[in-house]
């Protein structure tokens, strides 16, 4: 089984109107027996996991909900 990954940065707005960056990695696992399934692995730059809720919303480790306002490839 092989996998492909793509990394992107998502800028989100928090309830207090501040912003932060989330690193979102799309992982596509390719197997011979089943179709490929994309998965998102999201984290803060510090490595703390973030839950993707869909529809541009993310749950941060402290439980707050953030909304995506921009999307960009990460800086080299």
- Which segment of 12-16, 44-48, 68-72 scores lowest on mean pLDDT? 68-72
- Tokens 């993707």, located at residue: 52
- 36 pLDDT band (50/70/90 cuts)? low
CA–CA dist 23, 34 (Å, integer): 28
Contact 45, 23 (CB under 8 A): yes
Q: How far apart are CA 1 and CA 23, in angstroms?
A: 25
Global pTM reads 0.77
23: helix, coil or strand? Answer: strand
Beta-carbon neighbour count of residue 12 at 10 Å? 21
């Amino acid at each position: 089984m092989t996998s492909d990954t793509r990394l992107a940065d998502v800028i989100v707005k928090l309830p207090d109107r501040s912003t932060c960056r989330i690193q979102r990695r799309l992982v596509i696992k390719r197997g011979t027996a089943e179709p490929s399934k994309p998965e998102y692995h999201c984290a803060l730059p510090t490595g703390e996991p973030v839950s993707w809720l869909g529809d541009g919303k993310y749950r941060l480790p402290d439980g707050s909900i953030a909304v995506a306002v921009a999307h960009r490839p990460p800086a080299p």
